[in-house]
Structure 1
Amino acid sequence: MSRTAVVTGAARGIGAAVAARLATDGYAVALVDLDAGAAQAAAEQIVAAGGRARGFGADVADEQAVARVVEEITAELGAPTVLVNNAGIIRDNLLFRMSVEDWDAVMGVHLRGAFLMSRACQGAMREAGWGRIVNLSSTSALGNRGQANYSAAKAGLQGLTKTLAIELGRFGVTVNAIAPGFIATDMVRATAERMGVGFEEFCAGAAEQIPVGRVGQPEDVAAVASFLAGEGSGYVSGQVIYVAGGPKA
């Protein structure tokens, strides 16, 4: 049976890797991103590799945009029964320098976005009697200097995950979270540049602090998302899995 998966923030990095992996797993994949062109470009790469995918543009923090994009996905690919809430931004700063706008922007994309997308997709999952929601948290949920907004949003996602697992479990829907540690993405590259450190040097320094001796790749996260989105994870719900090369929680 063909199922439709939705991945937000899917144009690059972790989101693109998750979308590609789910397509390999046999899902029709909707790649949702604020940058519709980049989402479609990533989808075309999946199609070229033999998968079924399409890019969609939407701001996940906008209630009307979310309703519209879920309708479009349903019409073009089928009703979504897998949702990966990956969309995110960073607006790092120390508390006394952090603006209300930066707080609201991060909360809006990460937490409000996951809420709106989950609410919009859960109806199809309940109707199907089967569904998977995977939320992307972070090791920053445990606290990280300069990330009061990001850390609070990611911790909030863990609470949302556990609550939705309780509410939706009786309908055959599992809800879990992945909390990546250091993953080599464009977002991390931008952080290194902002700090005036070369990307390779930045990664090497991080790897020294990670028990497995290397930094993570987007595909490491995608592998866990693949499991949580599949049939074999039906008795796993309300969990936070740290994909960080060592113990974190």
Structure 2
Amino acid sequence: MSKIIVITGAGGVICSALAKALAKEGHKIALLDLNKDAVDHLAKEIQVAGGIAISLAANVLEKDSLNAARQKVNKQFGSCDILINGAGGNHPLGTTSNTHFLEEDLKKNEGDFKTFFDLDTEGVKFVFNLNFIGTLLPTQVFAKDMIGKKGCSIINISSMNAFTPLTKIPAYSGAKAAVSNFTQWLAVHFAKVGIRVNALAPGFFLTEQNRTLLTDKNGDLTSRGKTIIEQTPMGRFGDPEDLVGTTLWLCGEGSGFVTGVIIPIDGGFSAYSGV
């Protein structure tokens, strides 16, 4: 059965792959992103392949922008059945330079060197707002369409950082932990009106945001990239297509009794103790 699916952050690597896969299943896809050019291109790609998609500029941190997008979705497609909260990301100002703090770090004065004590408040706020508020506001707007209907669900994008925080990125780890907690809260809150709420927790996927952290200019692994691969039993980074199967399952009737779960898709990273 065709459903109307709204995807925020749809211009990103992961969500664009999900959008294409869902369109192939016959669903109508509303692509929302701050970067209108990115979703314009994606919508055309989906349409050329025979799918149905529209592209809309929307800011997940501005409710008026989301309400305007909802009106356009309702006018062109109808009311939203499934919301995928894909907008998110990290910021350099919420990231430390080293994995561990050493006493001599206090004496370093390089402009781009950051210890925990140098983390920028505005950078940390940006990361929390983008990931948590950027999940809360679209849910407030589009979940209203789901009231009184069957087969509706919300899929959030968490991270393996939410289970165990990674070094160097405290803001992002904390923000994704908030998304996971919020997913469980929403699942309980909406259970009586039939809206299921779950989350994907991707492991390490190469995206434009983390590519420079995991690979160098030649495409070779950085030391951090090597450590990740060594700790991933399947021995590789994830591909966006690796998220498709779980997403299709969560969108379909086969997961009708599944709500409030955060599903790791990480090549075994969370199961490996390192020994």
Q: TM-score, length-normalised on structure 1?
A: 0.93
Q: Which residue in 2 is equivalent to 1:36?
A: 36
2:223 is the counterpart of 1:182: no
Q: Is the partner of 1:177 in helix, strand or coil?
A: strand
Cα 1:199–1:127 change in 2 (3 A) is farther
CA offset at residue 127 of structure 1?
Answer: 2.7
Provide the rounded CA distance (Å) in 2 between the counterparts of 1:77 and 1:20. 17
CA offset at residue 53 of structure 1?
Answer: 0.5
2:110 is the counterpart of 1:116: no
Q: Which residue in 2 is equivalent to 1:223?
A: 245
Provide the rounded CA distance (Å) in 1 between the counterparts of 2:231 and 2:166. 15
2:80–2:142 contact (8 Å) kept in structure 1: yes
Provide the rounded CA distance (Å) in 2 between the counterparts of 1:39 and 1:156. 27
CA offset at residue 78 of structure 1?
Answer: 1.7
Q: Which residue in 2 is equivalent to 1:246?
A: 268
2:240 is the counterpart of 1:199: no
CA offset at residue 61 of structure 1?
Answer: 0.9
Q: Which residue in 2 is equivalent to 1:87?
A: 87
Provide the rounded CA distance (Å) in 2 between the counterparts of 1:207 and 1:101. 32
Provide the rounded CA distance (Å) in 2 between the counterparts of 1:222 and 1:129. 22
Cα 1:191–1:74 change in 2 (3 A) is farther
5+ residue gaps, structure 1, are none
Q: 1:154 aligns with which of 176, 186, 195?
A: 176
Provide the rounded CA distance (Å) in 1 between the counterparts of 2:127 and 2:33. 15
Provide the rounded CA distance (Å) in 1 between the counterparts of 2:160 and 2:244. 16
Q: Which residue in 2 is equivalent to 1:96?
A: 117
Provide the rounded CA distance (Å) in 1 between the counterparts of 2:174 and 2:87. 15
Provide the rounded CA distance (Å) in 1 between the counterparts of 2:193 and 2:268. 34
1:12–1:42 contact (8 Å) kept in structure 2: no
Higher helix share: 1
CA offset at residue 130 of structure 1?
Answer: 3.1
CA offset at residue 242 of structure 1?
Answer: 0.5
5+ residue gaps, structure 2, are 97-115
2:160 is the counterpart of 1:139: yes
Q: TM-score, length-normalised on structure 2?
A: 0.84
Provide the rounded CA distance (Å) in 1 between the counterparts of 2:194 and 2:27. 18
Q: Pairwise CA RMSD of aligned residues?
A: 1.8
1:91–1:102 contact (8 Å) kept in structure 2: yes
Identity of aligned residues (%): 32
Q: Is the partner of 1:187 in helix, strand or coil?
A: coil
Provide the rounded CA distance (Å) in 2 between the counterparts of 1:136 and 1:169. 20
Provide the rounded CA distance (Å) in 1 between the counterparts of 2:263 and 2:139. 19
Deviations 1:83-140 (A, max 9, x none): 1111112114123222111111111111001101111111111132331101000111
Letter in 1 for 2:117: F
CA offset at residue 192 of structure 1?
Answer: 3.7
Q: Would you say how many aligned residue pairs link Structure 1 and Structure 2?
A: 247
